[in-house]
Chains A and B, each alone.
Chain A
């Protein structure tokens, strides 16, 4: 169970709605994420899960509602603002910078900590050199955490999907986020890889005291990993509670889990 030292929740989503060309993607959604908890968003495709993450990151602008992040209220987020405040993100279909090496991808994730000016960088003045050295050390550290050291110089576009997925999480982690949003971090992996990444996510949560919101379809892993599950369907919240409660919620079973019930039991 998450620790409740701080009374303020890490994140609150309040009455958020979003539509594309008149089609509702999210309707009046409200829930909150406590500090240092792993919150899983589940629901069928098109339920609005990725759209919600995009709102939290500022990629999409909600039609109405507000977001409260660490006590501050936002009518909308701007991507840069979100990053500066420490909201990290992993994407569904790998949004890595394919023309750059693994190491450069991870260092790119450190941009919000960069202070050296253009001129300092062009002339390699001390501050730029120092920053570059610190960034490299930090990136190598994170790569080691994900066992990616040997790929450091490889162009990321040439790596297998599972490895790319890890690079993406590594890139998000490098920037030392306070809230990490992961969109299907385990998709496309084999069972062993899934276990490995799930373990890393759990460690990030416990060791770095990181709040994590993740979207995942593998209910088995979700139930083991998450402290808190929010179920979405057609943009509405269907259920919200600890995993055990969700597993037994008749609405959820009826509307969503349905035939997959057997899998959960397994």
Chain B
């Protein structure tokens, strides 16, 4: 993550040295984190934060870069998790990293299939496709016991746990490094992708799809690629969420609220930026904890608990609205991380405008 920040920000040449030092320091910090933070921080905050960042990254490629709105992030995470489970169960010889890749490919294929309507349908009408995916897979993975190996609780978990070519990862540090490694690798690949012709094709479709088609951008292919790549990443994020964070998962772990959460992450973090996913995930995972802490500290015992919890929910909603009003480009801009000459632009100037 930190290496990428360095490269991303390295445009003004004069500060490269400083940035490299800062980057190396950050990398060292990230690698040493498990020895600096408590187990609670690793297990309950940092690992889920990293996975949510990855999911946000996946969705951001589709929604933030290619401009295709999706309310089905949870569905593709679900597919990835269940595919990983199936592979580990039924192809026990396949090492975990390869199983994750294959599960990602399965999720990508599913994403591609549910992306097909995008070649004909635009804007908000498109949410029906991703919502159909959301509800269909919730039903499918619950309905047919094959998917959860007939387990009476309809949950999935890896009976052999996590391992990396023989290295046992079933402890907080192992889970952290596994997650960190995968997230870093996928972030790098995504970074390459958005700076390549495919990335430009996506942004062209987002900014003005008709013009993109006319100048020779292969719209259909690029949209389907966006769905496939996004779902690939979401699928792997889903598998990590199920097995590196939760330990076991059911369809409820990837319900509609999860899809909204991922969408919030990229809107708050910044659409169409890689680092936006990280910032958004940090915001979404830390804000409720911060509010919780604040409320317990300030009001504990003095106000009815039910009222308190509902106020907290309302405040979360208010903060989201406030954010959208104040910073349409999300935390990415608020923290001054965008290119200095990057003027304010409207999100989705064309692709979502229909009647």
Contact = CB atoms under 8 A, between A and B. Distances in A.
A82 B214 contact: yes
Q: Secondary structure at chain B's binding surface: helix, strand, loop or mixed? A: helix
B208 A95 contact: yes
B283 to A, nearest CB: 22
A84 interface: yes
Contact of B207 (A88, A99, A107, A135): A99
A123 B190 CA distance: 9
A8 B270 CA distance: 53
Interface in A70-87: 79-80, 82-84
Interface in A101-151: 104, 107-112, 114, 116, 118, 121-124, 128, 131-132, 135
A154 B204 contact: no
A158 interface: yes
Interface string B256-274: 0000000000000000100
A117 B82 CA distance: 28
B207 A89 contact: no
Contacts of B345: 98-99, 155, 157
Interface in B308-332: none
A253 B104 CA distance: 66
Contacts of B213: 58-59, 79-80, 83
A82 B214 CA distance: 7
Interface in B96-135: none
Most buried by B among A88, A104, A107, A108: A108
B333 interface: no
A109 B343 contact: no
B218 A80 contact: yes
Nearest to B186: A122
Closest 10 CB pairs of A and B: A83-B216, A95-B211, A112-B216, A158-B343, A79-B213, A121-B196, A97-B207, A122-B189, A108-B200, A114-B197
A155 B333 CA distance: 15
Chain A, interface residues (CB within 8 Å), range = 35 or more
A88 B215 contact: yes
Contacts of A112: 216
A4 to B, nearest CB: 29
Contacts of A100: 200, 203-204, 207
Interface in B179-204: 189-190, 192-193, 196-201, 203-204
B197 A98 contact: no
A51 interface: no
**Most chain B beta-carbon contacts within 10 A, residue among A58, A107, A109, A118:** A118
Nearest to A174: B215
B200 A83 contact: no
B214 A111 contact: no
A89 B341 contact: no
Contacts, number: 124
B218 A111 contact: yes
Give the residue among B217, B229, B346 with the most A Cβ atoms within 10 A: B217
Contacts of A83: 213-216
Contacts of A58: 213-214
Contacts of A111: 197, 200-201, 204, 215-218
B145 interface: no
Contact of B216 (A80, A97, A122, A157): A80
A165 interface: no
A131 B189 CA distance: 17
Given A59-B214, A111-B215, A104 B341 contact: no
Given A80-B218, A154-B341, A157-B345, A97 B203 contact: yes
Contacts of A109: 215-216
Contacts of A110: 197
A171 B215 contact: yes
B206 interface: yes
Contacts of A157: 343, 345
Contact of A158 (B193, B198, B204, B341): B341
Q: Of A58, A97, A98, A175, which is in contact with the most chain B CB atoms at under 10 Å from its CB?
A: A97
A99 B229 CA distance: 21
Contact of B200 (A82, A104, A116, A154): A104
A175 B204 CA distance: 15
B225 interface: yes
B343 A155 contact: yes
Contacts of A97: 203-204, 206-208, 211-212
B258 to A, nearest CB: 26
A228 B272 CA distance: 45
Contacts of B306: none
Nearest to B200: A108
